[in-house]
Amino acid sequence: PAVIQLAAAQSADAFQVKNSAGTLLGYITNNGHFRTNPDDTGPCWVHSGYGFIGIADGSWLRLGKAGQVTWDSGANGAYLNPDIGLARSAAGIVKITNGSTGAGAMQLQEMTAPTAPATNNAIIFAEDNGSGKTRIVVRFPTGADVVLATEA
C-alpha cells in the first residue's frame, strides 16, 4: 500500500487534492483527519481520532464507534459533545439520548395527515385538530386514526 509518513513535528497538511486551477478541494490534515471542504465553511467529511466519522455543514452529524448517531449545534469543538442522538436500546428498539447516555426527546411539527402505512406499520404524527390545537395521532394501515392526546 501507499504510505504517507510525516515528519515528527509535522504542522502542514499531510496530503492535498487540488483542481487544475490550483484550488484546494480536500486534504488530509497532519493528524489524519480527511476534509473535503478546505475552509470549513461548508460541507466536509472528517475522520477523527476521536472514534467517529462526522459530516459537517453548520452542525455535525456523527456516526460513533459504539453505533450511536448524534447531532450537535456545529459550534467549534461541538462534535466532541453532541447534544442529541439515536442509539440502539435493544434488538429492534431505538432510544433518543441527550447525545451521550441521558434522556432525550422528539419534537413533532404539525403536518397534513400522511397516507396509511404499509401492513404491520403505524405512523405517529402531529396535526391541527381543526380548532387550532395540536394533537398527536397514530395512523394504522387501514387508514384508521387514534388520537393519543390533544393540546389543552
**DSSP bridge partners of 27:** 16, 35
Q: Give the pairing type, strands 123-128 and 60-64.
A: unpaired
Radius of gyration of the chain (CA): 22
Q: And the C-alpha cell for 73? A: 449545534
**Residue 114 pLDDT class (50, 70, 90 cuts):** very high
For the whole model, what pTM was predicted?
Answer: 0.62
- Cross-strand pairs, 125: 137
- At residue 115 the predicted structure's pLDDT band, cuts being 50, 70 and 90, is very high
pLDDT, tens digit, 9 for 90 and up, residues 30-83: 777 777 765 555 556 655 555 566 666 666 777 776 677 887 776 655 556 777
- Higher pLDDT among residues 101 and 110, named by residue: 110
